[in-house]
Amino acid sequence: MLRYILRRLAWSVPTLLIVTFLVYLALRIGTDPVASYKRVNPRATRAKVAEYIDVNGLDPNFVQGYFKWLRNFITGEWPRSIKGRREVWPALKDAMANTLRLGTAATVVGIFFGLIAGVMAALRPGGKRDVFINTSAFVGISVPPFISAIMFQLLFAVYWQRWFGESLFPTSGVYPAGHTGFDLFLMLKFMALPTLVVAIQIIATYSRYMRSSLLDVLNSDYMRTARSKGISERRVLIKHGMRNALIPVVTIAALDVGSIVGGLIITENIFSYPGMGLYFLKSFGEGDFPLLMPWMVVIVASVLFFNLIADISYAWLDPRIRLE
């Protein structure tokens, strides 16, 4: 197992190199980072432009340029952003922290309620509860986040204020303007609506995963064997049913978490929530090459990492899977 993990980690290095090279190519060809620099700094001297090209590895030769960028990236000499000449790492770190906070909250809430709903639906397939949960899940999946987000903003902020004089939840940011320091309650209040929007999607999807996975398991012969032992129905359901039904769900969840790190682009945009999604939209809109490349590296690394987690958890939960 350890050997397998080490080998997978070792393999992720060439994968990262290849993917970042492709991303580098795409950004070079698709966005022309030198032109964006000149657009933002119209009076930059020839020397300034040359320095920008040098630190970002934007040489005319793509391969040479990529390795120059790579060397600077690895040694930690990250060029500053085009706009505002800000340091990239603090901005990226904050965006990551914000997205992880939102992503974790939404995933925990979403998967928890999704699994409960799925189990409840599967226990009496075709019953009233099942039909209700299935229909709700269908609605939850069908309503896109930009609709639900705006509806929640209208309901909990705009109309709430009209009816009760004060809005229930704020609609943008992580803290009110000008706030400094850490305030858990305030933060949760700001996170409530974006979390709700994302969690609804997750609840809807996972209730369906869980329902179909558990239904499969409930119909299997080993459930009958378990019942024939005379153990309690609860134990049959948890130890034999859930234990098997969760295997595929956990695997999918690990993969999904990997992609959440890339940011919840639509939700973050609507709530002006400064996470990875908003970071990407802004820096891509401005063609800010120094901001974009590290973002790409983080995304690729997190997808690779959570793929590994998915494989490990699969092998850990299912003894039939051997990691070789």
Partner 1 sequence: MAEKVLEIRDLHVTFDTPSGPLEAVRGVDLDVSSGELLGVVGESGSGKSVTFLATMGLLPARARVTGSVILAGEQLIGASPKQLRSVRGRLLSMIFQDPLSALNPVHRIGDQISEMLRSHQDLSTSDAEKRAIELLDIVGIPQPSDRARQYPHEFSGGMRQRVVIAIAIANNPKVLIADEPTTALDVTVQAQILEVIERVQERFGTAVVLITHDLGVIARVADRVNVMYAGRNVEQGTIDSLFDHPSHPYTRGLLASLPRPGKQRLKPITGFPPNMLNPPTGCAFHTRCEFAADICKGELPSLVSFGDLETACVRARDLPKSESFA
Instruction: Give the HSE-up count for residue 179: Cα atoms under 13 Å, Cβ half-sphere.
Output: 12
- 165/230 with CB nearer partner 1: 230
Does residue number 318 form part of the binding site for partner 1 (CB under 8 A)? yes
How long is the chain? Answer: 324
**CB–CB of 56/69 below 8 Å?**
yes
In angstroms, the first-to-last Cα distance of the chain is 8
Does residue number 126 form part of the binding site for partner 1 (CB under 8 A)? no
Listed residue (202, 309, 210) closest to 264, CA to CA: 202
- 77/221 with CB nearer partner 1: 221
Rounded distance between C-alpha atoms, residue 172 and residue 189, angstroms: 10
- 60/319 with CB nearer partner 1: 319
Closest distance to partner 1 from the beta carbon of 167 (Å): 49
Q: Which long-range contacts (CB under 8 A, 24 or more apart) does 228-235 make?
A: none
> What secondary structure letter does DSSP report for 170?
-
Does residue number 317 form part of the binding site for partner 1 (CB under 8 A)? yes
- 126/181 with CB nearer partner 1: 126
Does residue number 53 form part of the binding site for partner 1 (CB under 8 A)? no
Per-residue x/- track, 176-215, partner 1 (CB under 8 A):
----------------------------------------
Residues contacting 40, CB < 8 A, separation 6+ = 82, 83, 286
Closest distance to partner 1 from the beta carbon of 172 (Å): 46
Per-residue x/- track, 220-259, partner 1 (CB under 8 A):
xxx-xxxxxxxxxx-----xx--xx--x------------
Instruction: Give the HSE-up count for residue 9: Cα atoms under 13 Å, Cβ half-sphere.
Output: 8
- 183/233 with CB nearer partner 1: 233
What residue ranges bind partner 1 (CB under 8 A)? 220-222, 224-233, 239-240, 243-244, 247, 317-320
